[in-house]
Structure 1
Amino acid sequence: MGAVQPPVAAQGRSFIPAQFWPWPRALGDTRDSPVRIEVGVPVEMAEDVFLLRLPLPFALNHINVYLIREDEGWVLVDCGVDTAESRAIWERIASRISPLNRIIVTHHHPDHIGLAGWLAERFDAPVSMTAGEYAVAGRYSDPDRDIIAERFPLWLEHGLSKERSTALLAHMPRYDEQVSHLSADRVGFIDPQQPVRIGQRLWQPIIGQGHAPDHLSLLDESGALLIGGDQVLPTITPNIAVWPGGDQNPLESYFRSLDRFLGMPADTLLLPSHRQPLYGVAARARQILAHHDDRLRALWEACADWTNACELLPALFGRPLRDAEMGFGLGEAIAHLNYLEGRGCLVSDLDGNGVRVFRRCAISTIDQGSPS
C-alpha cells in the first residue's frame, strides 16, 4: 500500500474490533537495526543467519532473502524474482553457499518463489513451502489459464472502464515471465504444526492470511529472531487485495493473522522481506492496524453517497495510480470495502450499468471501543 507513517489510533470508535486489536491501543516504538545493507552482499544479522539483498525490477526495488548456515551447508529462505541480474548474483556467491541443503519459500509471489526452480536445479536442492502456497503457484503458472485476464470482469464490476481495463491487461506483471519452472518432485510441504530445524535453531512456523493464503513466517525458539516474509513489513504495508477465486475478505483475514505478532517481545529482531530489519514487531503490527483503521475511516467518510471502488482510489491512496499500481490498488480498495460491508459499515448494490457501488451506514453500526 506504500510508505506509511503510523497515525494516531482513533479514540473511542474504531473500524477494527477489539478481537483483532485489543485495548488499550498505545502503538509503541520500533527501532531499526543499524546494519548496512548492499545489494548482492551477504551480511550477518545473527549468528549463522545472513541477509542477502537482491534487486527487483519494480517500484519496490529489492527483496531481502535469508541464508542460514548449518554444520554442512546452507538453507535459503526465499529466492528473488527470476531475472538475469539476480541469477548473476547467485552465480557469483555460489561457491560460498554450497551445498545448498534446502530452499524454503514463504509464499507464492514472484519475488519470493521466482528463482526457486532454477536454484533447486542449480544446487540440486529440495524446496519446502506450505501446501496452500504451492497450490496457488500452480494455478498462476498453469499455461492453460490467463490469471490476469480472469481479473477483467472484477475490474469492470468495480468501476474501471472497459478501455482502461483493456489497457491494464498490458501493464500487469505476468507470472510465467518472473517465475522459473519448479518441478513438482522437488517440492515438499511444511507442516505448520511442527517446528523446523535449520542449523542450530528450531523455528516455529507462523501461518498468516490476507497477503497470501498460507504465508509462512518463522520464529526461532528463543523468540530472538523472526523471518517475517511480507506479513509484517517496516515502513510499508503488504498488499491486501481481492482477486477472483481468492479470499473475498482478505483484510479481515489479515487482521486475524496479526494476533501472533502482537504479543512478541520488544527485543525480537524482525528480518523482513523488504526494507530495514527492526526491533519492535508488536509495535509495528499495531502501527499497521492503526494505518488500516485510518484508511477504513477515510473510505467510510467518502461513501456519503453511492460510489464505486475506482472512484474511491484517491480517498484510499491520496495520489494517482499508474500502470500495474492500478490493478493492485483496485484490488486493495475492494478488500477494504468488502471488510467495511462485512462489518455492517457499508452497504453495496449494482447500479444500472452493473457497477458495484457502496454507501455508508449510520455511525452507530461501527464497533465501539474503550479508548486507552
Structure 2
Amino acid sequence: MTTLPALEFPFVEMPAYGKVQEVAEGLLWVRIPLPYVLDHVNVFLLQDHDGWAVIDTGTRTPEAIGVWEALFAGPLSGMKISRVVVTHFHPDHIGLAGWFHDLHGARVQTSLSTHALCRLLSQGRSEQTIQQNFDFFLRHGLSPETAELISIHGREYPQYVAPLPSRFQRLVHGDTLTIGARSFRVMTGDGHAPEQVMLHCADEGLFFAADQVLERISPNISVDATEPMSDPLGHFMRSLRQIEAEVPDNVLVLPGHHRPFKGLSARCRDLVLHHQERCDTILAACAKRPHSAADLVPLLFQRQLDPHQMWFAITETLAHANRLIRRSQLTVIDQSDRSLLTLA
C-alpha cells in the first residue's frame, strides 16, 4: 500500500535497537526486534508518578530481552517500569508484559478481551482446534498440504508470550487514563484485534494508535475457523471512521510499527479505500465465475507466500468475502467438499 503525500514524518529515521528517541518531554520511543517479516515493534515509554509506563513490549525472545537488558544497562539505566499498558493480545505487543511484571512489579493495564484472549491462547492449541482449522481451510480451497501447514498457526503463542498475571486493570472505551502529568482518553477499536486499546492525549496532540492506523501497511484483518462468519473488516472500517470523527487530524500518530506521522484523517481514508479496492477486485472476479477463497488469494496478494504469510492471506481474503456477504453482494455456494463465492 502506498502512503499519501499528505503524511508528515517528524522523525526521518527510526531508532536503532538499543537506542532511545525522545518524542517529547517524558515520552520516549524505542524499537524491539521481532522474529517475523515485520521485524520490529514500537514501544513507547511515558514518565509516570512512580516510575515509567511502557506501552507494549515485544515478544518473549532472547533477542528482544537482550535489547531490553541493553537499554536498562544504558540509556534507560535506573528507570523503574511502574506499569505496562498493552494495546492488544498479539505476541509482539503483549509478549513481555508478564516479564515486566516479574522484573519490576509492573501492573498490567489492558482491555478485557486482550487479557482473556492472552490467557486462553497461552494454554496452547488443542488437536481439536488444529483439526477444525484444517477442515476450515480445506473447505475454502487450499490443498491438503497447505491446509496442514497453516492449521498449526498460533501454536507458538506460549513460546512468545510470558505468563500474564491473573490480576490486571481493565481499560474501557471512554475511560480517562492518567499517566504522570498526562491525561488520555481510552479508545478501543476492533478488526485487527478485539478491543484494541488506543490512547488520545488532547492537551498535547498525541495519539497512540497501536496497529489500528499504521504508516505504510494495513494491519491484518482475519477470519478463521473460530468465528467463521464474523465481519472484522466491517468492524475495522467502522473504527477508522470513528477515529477520523473523534481524533483531530493534527495529532502526532504514534503507531505500533514504522514511523510516527501526522495526517491521521488522510491515512484513515486511505486504509478504507484500500479495502474497498480489494472488495471490488473480489466482486469483479466472482462476476466471471464462482471462486473459492483460495482462488482469490493470488488476486489480492501478488507475491510468493510462505506458510506463515499464507495464513494471513487466506484469512484476510475471507474477511473481505464476509464483508461482501454482509452487504448482500456475495453469496456462498456450499458444495460437498468446498465453499465457493459468487455474486448475490
TM-score by length of 2: 0.92
Match of 1:310 in 2: 294
Is 1:339 matched with 2:323? yes
Q: Measure how far apart 1:256 and its partner are.
A: 1.0
> Which sits farther off after the overlay, 161-170 or 64-73?
161-170
Assess if the C-alpha contact under 8 Å between 1:158 and 1:310 holds in 2.
yes
Checking the alignment, whether the CA contact within 8 Å between 2:293 and 2:318 is kept in structure 1 is yes
Q: What secondary structure is seen at the aligned counterpart in 1 of 2:60?
A: coil
Residue 29 (str. 1) matches residue 13 (str. 2): no
| Correspondence for 1:322 | 306
**In structure 2, do the counterparts of structure 1 residues 260 and 106 end up closer, same or farther at CA, with 3 Å as the change threshold?**
same
TM-score, normalised with respect to structure 1: 0.85
Matching residue of 1:299: 282
Q: Corresponding residue for 2:70?
A: 92
Structure 1 CA distance for aligned equivalents of residues 179 and 78 of structure 2: 15
1:13-162 pair list within 5 angstroms: 29-36=6-13, 37-94=15-72, 96=77, 98-143=79-124, 145=126, 148-162=130-144
Paired with 2:16 and 2:188, the residues of 1 have a C-alpha distance of 29
What secondary structure, in the 3-state scheme, does the structure 2 residue paired with 1:184 have?
coil
Q: 3-state SS of the aligned residue for 1:39? A: coil
CA deviation after TM superposition for structure 1 residue 320, in Å: 2.9
Counting only pairs closer than 5 Å after superposition, residues 279-298 of structure 1 correspond to structure 2 as 279-298=262-281
Identify which of structures 1 and 2 has the higher relative contact order when contacts are C-alpha pairs closer than 8 Å and 6+ apart.
1
Would the aligned equivalents of 2:60 and 2:96 in 1 still touch at CA under 8 Å? yes
Task: Deviation per CA, 1:176-208: give whole Å up to 9, x if none.
Answer: 1111111213x2211333200012110011110
| Matched residue SS, 1:266 | coil
Unaligned runs of 5+ in 1: 7-26, 362-372
Give yes or no for contact 1:306–1:357 (8 Å, CA) kept in 2: yes
Does residue 271 of structure 2 align to residue 269 of structure 1?
Answer: no
Render the CA deviation track for 1:83-141: whole Å, top value 9, x for unaligned.
11111121222353632111110000000000111111011111111001111112211
Gaps of 5+ in 2: none
2:148 matched to 1:166? yes
Please give the per-residue CA displacement for 1:140-199, whole angstroms capped at 9, x wherever unaligned.
1124735555422221121112222113346766101111111213x2211333200012
Residue 234 of structure 2 corresponds to residue 252 of structure 1: yes
Contact preservation (8 Å) 1:154, 1:244: yes
C-alpha contact 1:130 1:189 (8 A) present in aligned 2 = yes
Separation of aligned partners in 1, 2:192 and 2:172:
20
Aligned CA-pair RMSD: 1.9
Shift of 1:245: 2.9
The alpha-carbon distance between structure 1 residues 324 and 172, as it changes in their structure 2 partners (threshold 3 A), is farther
Q: Is residue 56–residue 93 contact of structure 2 (8 Å, CA) maintained in 1?
A: yes
Distance 1:84 1:286, change over 3 A: same
Contact 1:173 1:324 in 2 (8 A): no
